[in-house]
Amino acid sequence: MKKSKQFWLFIIAAVLVYAVVQFFIANGTMNQFYSNTFIFIAINIILAVSLHLVIGITGQFSIGHAGFLAVGAYISAIVTMKLDLPFIVAIIVGGMVAALAGLIVGIPSLRLKGDYLAIATLGFAEIIRIVFLNIDYVGGAAGMQVSHLTTWTYAFVCLVITIIVIVNFTNSRHGIAAISVRENEIASDAMGINTTYYKVAAFAIGSFFAGVAGALYSHNFYIIQPSQFGFLKSFDILIFVVLGGLGSLSGAVLSAILLTVVSTYLQGYPETRMIIYSLVLILVMLYRPKGLMGTMEITDYFKLWRTPKGGDQHGK
Amino acid sequence: MENKPLLEVKNAGIQFGGLKAVQNLNIKLNQGELVGLIGPNGAGKTTSFNLLTGVYVPTEGDILFNGERINGLQPFKVTRKGISRTFQNIRLFNELTVLDNVKVAYHSLATHTMLSSILRLPSHFKGEREMEEKALEFLRIFKLEKYKDELAKNLPYGQQRRLEIARALAAGPQLLLLDEPAAGMNPQETHDLMNLIGFVREKFDLTILLIEHDMNLVMGVCERIYVLDHGQLLAEGSPEEIRNHPKVIEAYLGEEVHDDNA
């Protein structure tokens, strides 16, 4: 009852945000620059939320997310540019191939833990990038021409689907199993949870949405190049998740919005851009060491405002 | 019924490099028994538990559970066969609520799939409701109901131990392995724990194997005791026999000084 009310509130809020932004884009109040910023925010939120599932929920420290972004970007570009199929097909195929790449990378590397896993995923992401760099079919280092197909509608619908899927996953026995892997893998195993299965599953779902984001990303520019998907891109996504607070989905969303806006507005000051961006990160980490939201969700704050009734679960 | 032991460990052992941590381990547990496993520090008690639960794969020997070979199975499969355990150093899921901690143990008994959860199909709601009801029932039995929305890390120490036992039982085991359940407890808490162990044994028709350093507890509740030292079984018998066993006394208190040593 309570949960479904929350769900419909979310849908209403989403429709409102969509309608307002779409209205301003349609009547021309918002120029190309602003609408692009909004699309870019949506893409970054998808990336942040998908990595949140892997790092924040399942506790697997993966820093190769840009690799799956690249897979989605290139595969979807091939689908639209070389095969002349519609964009919606490209998004789905991009996501699925990225999920497949996630499985291939995840099954061997998720046996590792902590730092070792981080290094392995980073390595795999670089391998993916180098592979694209050396395939002439997709243009090699010069890159590949992609037509501009991403609209605010596509980006926003993908974003909403991503959030719903990941929230639904988290608030189920499967999500609890994944969190138990994060909290204590040995105990989780001893409680009959197939820990490898959940690690790989979370990794594959995360990769799927990274691939979807990749499809939106490549069709938002006119060209994609392997250099856009280097490890710095992976770290950008990682920063969204860490800055938002590990384990908090709304934190990941907030920090993705905040950092995208900050870095967009700083484009006018290329000399000081990275300094100010870094200062923002340092300040947030000084004053909110557990991230913007810690492990709380926005809905927890709503609950705090009301008188405590009891019976409601924490973190849901 | 007596002839068919629930758990039979035959000459099991494990070697780490050149170190034989446990060797020639022979344990037989009959249905419904409460058995203790004691020994000085470093004797290999927890290693034995790890062998039984699949954390380590024995390098020699066999482990039979209900007549079925279980060595080499992964830990989660061993748990699904019906062996569950608690840990020497508490391993709760700290950032999950008390209720969710117990739900995790129910996970392998639930059937709704990941897809049904993502699409929020009716089977998801039904499955989740059943899990929640069963988990609440367990908390009620263990008098942890009032803590259900509390994060596990915020519970007092004694209650954490209780929750760990509750969680282990929620996985539906036939055999429960308790690794030093009374560690760090005061005499009153230990006493309560003894009652609890007796209670769950009756209630769930369990067989229990218990590692413990608190001799009052071991001698008080166990029917039979195995003594380990240096990775080998030293003695086996009733509490009375163990108490007077010369080798056991030697292992705990040291040898008598003989003249030829001087």
**Residue B8, helix vs strand vs coil:** strand
- Whether A256 is in a domain gets the answer no
DSSP A79: I
- Which tokens is A92 given? 């789905």
User: By the 8 A CB rule, do A280 and A262 touch?
Assistant: yes
Q: What pLDDT is attached to residue A73?
A: 95
C-alpha R_g of chain A: 19
Is beta strand B19-29 parallel, antiparallel or unpaired with respect to B68-69?
A: unpaired
Size of interface A-B (CB pairs under 8 A): 114
B80 contacts in chain A (CB < 8 Å): 192
Q: What pLDDT is attached to residue A314?
A: 43
Q: Could you say which residues from 49 to 88 on chain B have a Cβ atom under 8 Å away from some Cβ of chain A?
A: 53, 55, 74-76, 79-80, 84-85, 87
In this complex, do A183 and B107 lie within 8 Å of one another by their Cβ atoms?
no
Residue in the structure block whose two tokens are 């899990």: B131
Task: Place A268 in a pLDDT band, splitting at 50, 70 and 90.
Answer: confident
Instruction: In whole angstroms, give the CA distance from residue B137 to residue B134.
Output: 5
Domain total of chain A: 1
Q: What pLDDT is attached to residue B1?
A: 46
Q: What pLDDT is attached to residue A126?
A: 94
Q: Could you say which residues from 149 to 188 on chain A have a Cβ atom under 8 Å away from some Cβ of chain B?
A: 165, 168-169, 172-177, 179-180, 182-184, 186-188
Residue in the structure block whose two tokens are 């117990």: B102
H or E segment and range at residue B101: helix B98-106
Task: Place A197 in a pLDDT band, splitting at 50, 70 and 90.
Answer: very high
Question: Could you tell me how many residues make up chain B?
Answer: 262
Q: What pLDDT is attached to residue B3?
A: 62
Mean pLDDT over A53-75 rounds to 94
Cβ neighbours of residue A119 closer than 8 Å, sequence gap 6 or more: none
- Whether A41 is in a domain gets the answer yes
User: By the 8 A CB rule, do A37 and A44 touch?
Assistant: no
Q: What pLDDT is attached to residue B256?
A: 66
Q: What pLDDT is attached to residue B260?
A: 57
- Whether A28 is in a domain gets the answer no
- Which tokens is B252 given? 């705990």
**Which CA distances in Å does B190 have to B132, B176, B213, B214, B220?**
30, 18, 12, 9, 11
**Residue B66, helix vs strand vs coil:** coil
User: By the 8 A CB rule, do A299 and A170 touch?
Assistant: no
Q: Which residue in chain B is spatially nearest to A202 when comparing CA positions?
A: B114
Say yes or no: domain B1-82+173-262 is CATH 3.40.50.300. Answer: yes
Instruction: In whole angstroms, give the CA distance from residue A185 to residue A59.
Output: 10
Alpha helices in chain A (DSSP H): 2-26, 32-52, 65-77, 87-109, 114-133, 152-170, 173-183, 185-190, 195-218, 231-244, 249-265, 273-287, 298-305
- Which tokens is B55 given? 């954390």
- Whether A252 is in a domain gets the answer no
Instruction: In whole angstroms, give the CA distance from residue A98 to residue A72.
Output: 6
Q: Could you say which residues from 278 to 297 on chain A have a Cβ atom under 8 Å away from some Cβ of chain B?
A: 295
pLDDT digits (tens, 9 = 90+) for A91-137: 999 999 999 999 999 999 988 888 899 999 999 999 999 999 999 89
User: By the 8 A CB rule, do A314 and B97 touch?
Assistant: yes
Mean pLDDT over A59-82 rounds to 94
In this complex, do A192 and B100 lie within 8 Å of one another by their Cβ atoms?
no
Q: What pLDDT is attached to residue A311?
A: 41
- Which tokens is B50 given? 């790890």
Among candidates A83, A60, A80, which has minimal Cα distance to A72?
A80
Residue in the structure block whose two tokens are 């996970």: B107
Q: ipTM > 0.85?
A: yes
Tell me how many degrees the CA angle B88-B53-A55 measures, rounded to the nearest 5: 75
DSSP B205: T
Instruction: In whole angstroms, give the CA distance from residue B13 to residue B23.
Output: 4
Tell me how many degrees the CA angle B87-B91-B92 measures, rounded to the nearest 5: 130
H or E segment and range at residue B185: none
pLDDT tens, position by position, for chain B (262 residues)? 456 789 999 999 999 988 889 999 999 999 999 999 998 888 889 999 999 999 999 999 999 999 899 988 999 999 999 999 999 899 999 999 999 999 999 898 888 899 999 999 999 999 999 999 999 998 998 889 999 999 999 999 888 998 999 999 999 999 999 999 988 888 888 888 888 888 989 888 899 999 988 888 888 889 999 999 988 898 899 998 988 888 888 888 777 666 655 4
Strand order in the sheet with B68-69: B19-29, B7-16, B60-65, B68-69
- Whether A49 is in a domain gets the answer yes
pLDDT digits (tens, 9 = 90+) for A95-106: 999 999 999 999
Is beta strand B175-179 parallel, antiparallel or unpaired with respect to B207-211?
A: parallel
- Whether A263 is in a domain gets the answer no
Question: What pTM was estimated for this model as a whole?
Answer: 0.89
DSSP B97: B
**Which CA distances in Å does A78 have to A158, A283, B9?**
20, 42, 59
User: By the 8 A CB rule, do B20 and B231 touch?
Assistant: yes
Residue in the structure block whose two tokens are 């060491």: A289
User: By the 8 A CB rule, do A67 and A229 touch?
Assistant: yes
Q: How far is B162 from chain A (nearest CA, A)?
A: 15
Q: Which residue in chain B is spatially nearest to A184 when comparing CA positions?
A: B93
Q: What pLDDT is attached to residue A5?
A: 78
Among candidates B15, B152, B2, B169, which has minimal Cα distance to B90?
B152
Instruction: In whole angstroms, give the CA distance from residue B10 to residue B64.
Output: 8
pLDDT digits (tens, 9 = 90+) for B74-118: 999 999 999 999 998 999 999 999 999 999 998 988 888 999 999
Q: Which domain holds residue A190?
A: 37-230
* DSSP annotation string for B30-41: -TT-EEEEE-ST
Rounded to the nearest integer, the mean pLDDT of chain A is 89
* DSSP annotation string for B148-181: TTSBGGGS-HHHHHHHHHHHHHHT--SEEEEEST
- Which tokens is A205 given? 């779902």
Range(s) of chain B covered by CATH 3.40.50.300? 1-82+173-262
- Whether A22 is in a domain gets the answer no
Instruction: In whole angstroms, give the CA distance from residue B262 to residue B102.
Output: 59
Instruction: In whole angstroms, give the CA distance from residue A95 to residue A213.
Output: 8
- Whether A95 is in a domain gets the answer yes
Task: Place A290 in a pLDDT band, splitting at 50, 70 and 90.
Answer: confident
Q: What pLDDT is attached to residue B246?
A: 86
- Mutation to test the B interface, candidates A163, A173, A182, A296, most B Cβ within 10 Å: A173
In this complex, do A186 and B119 lie within 8 Å of one another by their Cβ atoms?
no
pLDDT digits (tens, 9 = 90+) for A215-267: 999 999 889 999 999 988 999 999 999 999 888 999 999 999 999 998 888 88
